[in-house]
Amino acid sequence: MGLLRSSSFFAILLIFVSAVIRAKAGSVYCSNPRSRCYSRLIECPYQCPSTGSANRKSQICHVDCDSPTCKSSCKHCNGPGSACYDPRFVGGDGIVFYFHGKSNEHFSLVSDASLQINGRFIGHRPAGRTRDFTWIQALGILFNSHTFSLEAIKSATWNNEVDHLKFSYNGEDLVVPDGALTSWYSPDKEVKVERVANKNSVIVTLKDSAEIMVNVAPVTKEDDRVHNYKVPSDDCFAHLEVQFRFFALSPNIDGVLGRTYRTDFENPVKPGVAMPVFGGEDKYRTSELLSADCSTCLFSPQNGSNESTSVTEYLTLDCTRGGSSGYGIVCKK
């Protein structure tokens, strides 16, 4: 009899603990009727409860509403559409590759008829090396008739208590107040910038086009030791860690990362290669951060919001904004 009571007690305790864990975790409602998981309320793992964090290194809840499994997961720099480190990309097909570019030059990361996203690469070349070590320092975005940029501010040393992000909209500097969940909207509501940590971490939403999660990070002494970067003492190479989510892309999408979302893309990466490197710098180089003049660039401002040929949707979103959510997904606690 005592054993039965003990078993019942532990069963009730387990149910209670599970309920507490679920309560602490957020959930995502898939509201897009065209997604496979439409009308499903998907719980986030308790390890990444989807409420935003003051810690920029915290894992974030990811939900793919077009996935057959309709499940959530915790990811940081490992999901499709990410660009982190020196630069390590995860393509739309989920395959990892590296694109080194060149220091102090700009490259087309994503190019479509109504959306252009460029990256400015920074870095250096220690004596004896044949190429630059590089990182993505800034993003330049052209969409409709607007431009938007965000960049990591150069710094000799890293300080977590200092915000290292700088923003501009249509050529004018803008300020997003410090503090998790503070926001800035463009006058026409086409752009939203929201901090998901007190400093150095934001989500940029381009209405009906993309959602971009950005962290600023330095090259640490441990990074330098492990990879033998030999970074100079006057620059910690503050750079961006980026996670893209695209709402709609055309079949002709191009760019270093964009091409991996094409349905006809054949990835040249060979299985078993530890560090697959993609080339093509000449094809993707742009003259400036906010230019679409590379030989493979597709962006045309005339298309703007009238573009109606986009056929591919990518509905994997970060649930970091509580009830504010994005377009097509509602995040709830």
Terminal-residue alpha carbon distance, the chain: 41
Q: pLDDT under 70 in the chain at which residues?
A: 1-25, 28, 31-32, 34, 46-47, 49-60, 62-64, 66-67, 73-76, 303-333
CA dist 131 and 137 (Å) reads 18
Q: What is the pLDDT of residue 57?
A: 52
Q: What is the pLDDT of residue 102?
A: 95
pTM: 0.75
CA-CA-CA-CA torsion sign (293, 298, 299, 301)? positive
Q: Which residues neighbour 12 within 8 Å (Cβ) at sequence distance 6 or greater?
A: none
User: Which residue in 202, 211, 215, 193 sits closest to 316, CA to CA?
Assistant: 211
CA dist 274 and 158 (Å) reads 30
Question: Which strand ranges, in their side-by-side order, compose the sheet holding 27-30?
Answer: 41-43, 27-30, 329-332
Q: What is the pLDDT of residue 112?
A: 97
CA dist 137 and 219 (Å) reads 12
Q: What is the pLDDT of residue 183?
A: 93
CA dist 12 and 270 (Å) reads 51
Question: Which strand ranges, in their side-by-side order, compose the sheet holding 146-152?
Answer: 172-174, 165-169, 146-152, 133-143, 115-124, 105-112, 285-286
Q: What is the pLDDT of residue 322?
A: 40
User: Which residue in 213, 218, 220, 210 sits closest to 197, CA to CA?
Assistant: 213
